[in-house]
Amino acid sequence: YVTLSYLWGAASSSPPAEGNNLPDVLPLTIEDALTVTMNLGYRYLWIDRYCIPQDDREEKMAQIQSMKTIYNCSEFTIIAAAGNSPDYGLPGVGQTPRKPHPIMSVGDQTFVPLINNIAEEIDHSAWNQRGWTYQEGLLCRARLVFTDTQSYFQCGGMNCLESVSLPLDAIHIISKQRVRIDCGESPSSIYLSYFPASTFPWYSIQYTRHVTEYRSRSFSYQSDALDAFAGVLETF
């Protein structure tokens, strides 16, 4: 199965499921995520709003405490790092277009500007500001990120930018050292790098970094802050 990490937005924009049936009208981001899931050959997409019972507190808390398992056991997580609501969509998948890049021609020469830095796009996204999305981006084994300009895939073995064409053997890890493309020293490497196991020699330093970063995140309800970090706490 595949998991989805996105912005919830207002409750009215995404009504709850009724029993085992999805609402007749879904937010664009969820529609597009379903399309991506099916087109990549997967049958199931885990969406918190529909897979966690919102009217059963006991079951809801059990699911929240299982976030580490849910995200870590999925094949990959679709991350909607574009827009500021669930109605924005995944750029380039459905109705939501990608932002065009200016092209200038001088004689027989065509000039195209460098595409936006993917790390900066993720850093500045609304998705990256919310509390619940922090552990969702950390706990998964692989991520397929959609921004306004391109898609980006990252797993424990490689980083692939849609805008950079390289042979796969050039971007796999070499001697267990990650090959990074266009991420540099950006803080996003905290979220997009391979999540360290508790046996990692510097795991206490990593934990401190995660706590520091997490404290800057925002919540609709501050009472959610501990629950939304439970998976990270379990990992360390």
Does residue 192 carry a pLDDT above 90? no
pLDDT at 188 over 60: no
Once rounded to an integer, what is the mean pLDDT over residues 182-211? 53
What whole-number percentage of the chain has pLDDT above 70?
Answer: 77
Q: Which tops the pLDDT comparison, 184 or 153?
A: 153
Q: What is the pLDDT of residue 215?
A: 87
Q: Which two tokens stand for residue 90?
A: 């995944």
**Residue 21, both tokens:** 């049936």
Contacts of residue 87, defined as CB under 8 A and 6 or more positions apart, other chains included, come to 9, 13, 27, 28, 29
Which of the four pLDDT bands, split at 50, 70 and 90, describes residue 170?
low
pLDDT band (50, 70, 90) for residue 196? very low
For 96-152, the pLDDT digits (tens) are: 998 877 778 888 888 776 667 788 888 889 999 998 899 898 888 899 999 998 898
| Whether the Cβ atoms of residue 88 and residue 9 lie closer than 8 Å to each other | no
Q: Has residue 42 got a pLDDT over 60? A: yes
Q: Is 37 helix (H, G, I), strand (E, B) or coil?
A: helix
**Cβ neighbours, 10 Å, residue 26:** 18
Which range of 10-14, 35-39, 101-105, 133-137 scores highest in mean pLDDT? It is: 35-39
Q: What is the pLDDT of residues 77-102, one digit of tens each?
A: 999 999 999 999 999 999 999 887 77
Q: Residue range 190-202: average pLDDT?
A: 42
Percent of the chain exceeding pLDDT 90 equals 28
Could you tell me which residues come within 8 angstroms of residue 150 by beta carbon, excluding any fewer than 6 positions away? 92, 98, 115, 118, 161, 162, 163
Average pLDDT, the chain: 80
pLDDT at residue 174, as a whole number: 55
- Judge contact between 35 and 99, C-beta under 8 A: no
Question: pTM for the complete prediction?
Answer: 0.82
